[in-house]
Amino acid sequence: RRRILVTGGAGFVGSHLVDILMMKGHEVIVVDNFFTGRKRNVEHWFGHRNFEMIHHDIVNPLYVEADEIYHLASPASPPHYMQNPVKTIKTNTLGTINMLGLARRVGARILIASTSEVYGDPLVHPQPESYWGHVNPIGPRACYDEGKRVAETLAYSYAKQEKVDVRVARIFNTYGPRMHVSDGRVVSNFIMQALQNLTITVYGNGKQTRSFCYVSDLVDGLLGLMASSYTLPVNIGNPVEHTIEEFAMIIKNLVPGCRSTVATGAAVEDDPQRRRPDIAVAEAHLHWKPKVSLQEGLQRTIDYFKEELSRTT
């Protein structure tokens, strides 16, 4: 039984991680400023003796005690992180410095939630961890991409210089229940559109690809990485790749009686054209690979969004 700090624990990924950690009997401290997260994601733990929720913005220092830190606090959806680029960078620089400083002081192991966006619009496919990436440092996505890249640099600088025990997960596109209905990511957009018989909005020609991982698989990967002795970055994602166009059809077909049409539109600036994780490192060092099929994961996610819709209408 350990004291575990989860920054961004009221968010989509964080709240699923918190559920598992609580069910394993750990003491969990969630730190969140509710920028994109919601109390509702963790409210089922309110009042539990092992659970604590701190309303705090990590760009400011934080003094608590912990044995392990999962550092997930950061907006993750492009419309969210582009809304306030300065804040996105501050969260990933100042916020990460504060959490590394905390880890240093208390001697905690810290896992940094990095992202496949460190590879940018990749010229190598699929992307192994050794790939240096192809990122526009002054483009519209840079606040997130460069913020995460330098968060990794910070992690390894603290590891080398201050002997902080770091783990770095490069998370690829993840989906599942508790995604925000309006967070603007492709899974939530397409499912909400399909459920309401609205036009499914493909940005650009739809030939760009993504590879989607169900959230329970991701959480397993994060737990495995935290427990492992492997200290270099590890891709966590599902290597099953689809074009966004195919993806629109898959979702449409999973919603019985859906009458949505699929429309292509203007492309997004600097939109990565291909993305698929090479997960050989995770397989070898964490003995991890995803278990939930796209079909099954999407079905559960559609069920969740259906409930959300009926709750709000």
* 144 is annotated as an active-site residue: yes
Under rule CB under 6 A, residue 73 binds ligand NAD: yes
Under rule CB under 6 A, residue 156 binds ligand UDP: no
Under rule CB under 8 A, residue 124 binds its own copies: no
From the list 70, 144, 175, 214, the catalytic residue is 144
Main-chain dihedrals φ then ψ at residue 73, nearest 5 degrees: -65, 115
Span 278-307, contacts to ligand UDP by CB under 6 A: none
CB of 36 to ligand NAD, least distance (A): 3
CA proximity to 172, closest of 113, 125, 231, 227: 113
Query: In this chain, which stretch among 71-79, 152-160, 257-265, 289-297 interacts with ligand NAD, using CB under 6 A?
Result: 71-79
Among ligand NAD, ligand UDP, its own copies, none, what binds residue 253 when CB lies within 5 to 8 Å by partner kind? Answer: none
Query: In this chain, which stretch among 68-76, 81-89, 235-243, 245-253 interacts with its own copies, using CB under 8 A?
Result: 81-89
Under rule CB under 8 A, residue 149 binds its own copies: yes
CB of 290 to ligand NAD, least distance (A): 13
Residue of 113, 135, 200, 244 interacting with ligand NAD (CB under 6 A)? 113
> Helix or strand or coil: residue 19?
helix
Q: Are 153 and 135 in contact (CB under 8 A)?
A: no
Tokens linked to 233: 């970055």
266 DSSP assignment: P
Distances (CA, A) of 64 to 8, 68, 69, 237, 249: 15, 11, 11, 31, 47
Judged by beta carbon, residue 42 or residue 143, the one nearer its own copies is 143
Residue of 4, 5, 6, 10 interacting with ligand NAD (CB under 6 A)? 10
CA proximity to 195, closest of 258, 254, 261, 262: 258
Judged by beta carbon, residue 147 or residue 237, the one nearer its own copies is 147
- Helix, strand, coil tally for the chain in percent (to 5): 40, 20, 40
β-bridge partners, 51? 28
Residue of 3, 6, 37, 225 interacting with ligand NAD (CB under 6 A)? 37
Number of residues that bind ligand UDP (CB under 6 A): 23
Among ligand NAD, ligand UDP, its own copies, none, what binds residue 152 when CB lies within 5 to 8 Å by partner kind? Answer: its own copies
Under rule CB under 8 A, residue 132 binds its own copies: yes
Span 34-63, contacts to ligand UDP by CB under 6 A: 61-63
Under rule CB under 8 A, residue 163 binds its own copies: no
Query: In this chain, which stretch among 7-15, 50-58, 132-140, 301-309 interacts with its own copies, using CB under 8 A?
Result: 132-140
Q: How big is the CA angle at 114 (ends 113 and 120), to the nearest 5 degrees?
A: 160
Under rule CB under 8 A, residue 133 binds its own copies: yes
In which element (H, E) is residue 125 found? Answer: none
Residues in the chain: 313
Q: Are 79 and 184 in contact (CB under 8 A)?
A: yes
**Those residues with Cβ within 8 angstroms of residue 82's Cβ, 6 or more apart along the chain or in another chain:** 88, 140, 141, 143, 144
Among its own copies, ligand UDP, ligand NAD, none, what binds residue 301 when CB lies within 5 to 8 Å by partner kind? Answer: none
Judged by beta carbon, residue 48 or residue 105, the one nearer its own copies is 105
Tokens linked to 12: 């989509």
Q: Are 104 and 61 in contact (CB under 8 A)?
A: no
In which element (H, E) is residue 264 found? Answer: strand 262-265
Residue type (1 letter), 31? V
Residues with catalytic roles: 144
